[in-house]
Amino acid sequence: MPDQTLKKYKNETYLDFSDPTNDKAQKKALEEVRSDFGQEYDLYINGEFVKGDAGTFESKNPSNLSETIGTFQMASKDQAFDALDKAWDAFESWQYVSAEKRAEYLFKAADVVRRRRLEINAWMISEAGKSYLEADADTCEAIDFIEYYAHEALRIDDGMDVLSETWGDYNKTIYMPIGAGVSISPWNFPFAIFVGMAVAPIAVGNTVVAKPAPDTPRMGSILTEIFEEVGLPKGVFNFVTGGDIEVGENLAKHPNTRFISFTGSKAVGLHLNKIAAEVADGQKFLKRMVCELGGKNATVVDADADIEKASTEIVKGAFGFQGQKCSASSRVIAHQDIYDELLEKVAEKTKALSIGDAKENHIAGPVINQKAVDKIMSYIEIGKKEGRLVAGGKRAETENEGYYIEPTVFADISEDDRIAQEEIFGPVTAFIKAKDTDDALRIANGVDYGLTGAYFSQDPKKIDRALREYRVGNLYINRKCTGALVGAQPFGGFKLSGTDAKAGGRDYLKYFLEPKSTTLRPADGVDYELEDFEFANK
């Protein structure tokens, strides 16, 4: 067992970019990766880098559309299926590799991420438009996922606790990997979520075909480089870029896809869930579906709350990474007694946010692409009809051509209005007035989603009510509703927010395992000890 497995797991600490040393180091890393813009990156199938049969596509810098991050391969359906076949071939041996050895690969990978941390941040700032802190938090979360899942794989390898004995039998329930599956990850946490979704099944003996979002393929290719460096056996991890239908949907439909792990929109997630529910010709199992599908998260501010603190946290939760988080606070439900004061403070802080190129570390950078701009601006026009615009509301003027939208606040929105019910996924939040605590919690729960929420109060009885009655997977008291930490705040939501698999929690790896109950009864006249059997010593 590697020495690292004996260490207690702890979260990686974010860098403080107000420290001139860290700021200078990150800027230097940005200049270094910018010199590598425009390179071509290949698919990675069965340990080999290969060109795509369906052409190539470019990844652009959303902060400056004149800059090309890189050129990436368009895999054909046949190449995607070949990757799945190779993953199954690798599974034949990988499933029997010890948990200690699998963890060793992952701990080595985490060390490489640490070594390349500022470089990874720089690619993310350039390709996704994140601020320095948002990018560093993403990279830290990737490290956390790798190490946490490695530790959890070692723990789960001990099997399920057995509480009763039967007639002299030796009973043990062990967890077995389920096979080769598909990981389809989003662009908004382009390194952390891509890494976490790929590493989790691998940690417990499965193999993966990983497809990144088309907007951020460079972040996925970095994990490929890392696994290549640490010598992960060929076929265990396969990296396939390409079309959402040609690669993503066709892989999901394949009868040999054992699991589908997806993070993204509700519409796509529900579509994949239908696919997973259908048993194709030749399919010999029920597909396992693990998905996280977004939210319409609310920050509830009660009459006795600390208004200054609440306003600061609302702005962080609503506009961090331009509100492009499934956990972002897109609704503010404020008690009528403090509504006007809170709205004024939030509007003032929102207007003070600096907007511009992510490489200059502006708080408000670009949104991801033109499709996002069109969707967000359409909702802003809806909001102007449904309520009162108090901040933002238009495209931002910047030095470079990019996808910039002003952080936007609407007031006097009804709980049934579209911008109070539908996920916008951009820098827009809507204020809704509540009569009292009962009304506020009712409104908070009155949406199709149930991912995250925040509640501000100084009254223990009210807080206790919120803890019981606010129906979300991740609830935060007196802080913003974004920023879940691996191992501390397992992440996933209720209702149409997904399967609530709780990424970064102790239950997550079991989605990629099946428990097998085994009973060993000593044979008459046969001389052996339980220690003769490897399974008995796990």
Alpha helices in 369-489 (DSSP H): 370-386, 418-421, 437-444, 460-469
Contacts of 212 (CB under 8 A, 6+ apart): 185, 187, 190, 194, 219, 220, 221, 239, 241
How many Cα neighbours within 13 Å face the side chain of 302?
A: 21
Burial 167-185 (b: 16+ CB within 10 A, else e): eeebebebbebbbbbbbbb
Contacts of 348 (CB under 8 A, 6+ apart): none
Q: Are 402 and 357 in contact (CB under 8 A)?
A: yes
Q: Which tokens belong to 189?
A: 């946490």
- How many angstroms separate the CA atoms of 156 and 472, rounded? 27
The residue with tokens 């034949």 is 92
Written as one letter, the residue type at 97 is V
The four Cα atoms 230, 232, 234, 240 give a dihedral, to 10 degrees, of -80
- How many angstroms separate the CA atoms of 223 and 199, rounded? 10
Instruction: Give the active site residue among 292, 313, 386, 423.
Output: 292
**Catalytic site residue 326?**
yes
Cα angle 529, 531, 537 (rounded to 5 degrees) comes to 145
Residue 72, beta-bridge partner list: 41, 57
Contacts of 461 (CB under 8 A, 6+ apart): none
**Catalytic site residue 531?**
no
Q: Which tokens belong to 175?
A: 């967890």
Written as one letter, the residue type at 408 is T
- How many angstroms separate the CA atoms of 79 and 49, rounded? 12
Q: Are 180 and 91 in contact (CB under 8 A)?
A: yes
Contacts of 23 (CB under 8 A, 6+ apart): 17, 132, 361
- How many angstroms separate the CA atoms of 505 and 500, rounded? 11
Instruction: Give the active site residue among 249, 326, 386, 423.
Output: 326
CA 59, 63, 67, 69 dihedral sign is negative
Q: Are 423 and 451 in contact (CB under 8 A)?
A: no
Terminal C-alpha separation, the chain: 13
> 3-state class of 343 per DSSP?
helix
Residues tagged active-site: 292, 326
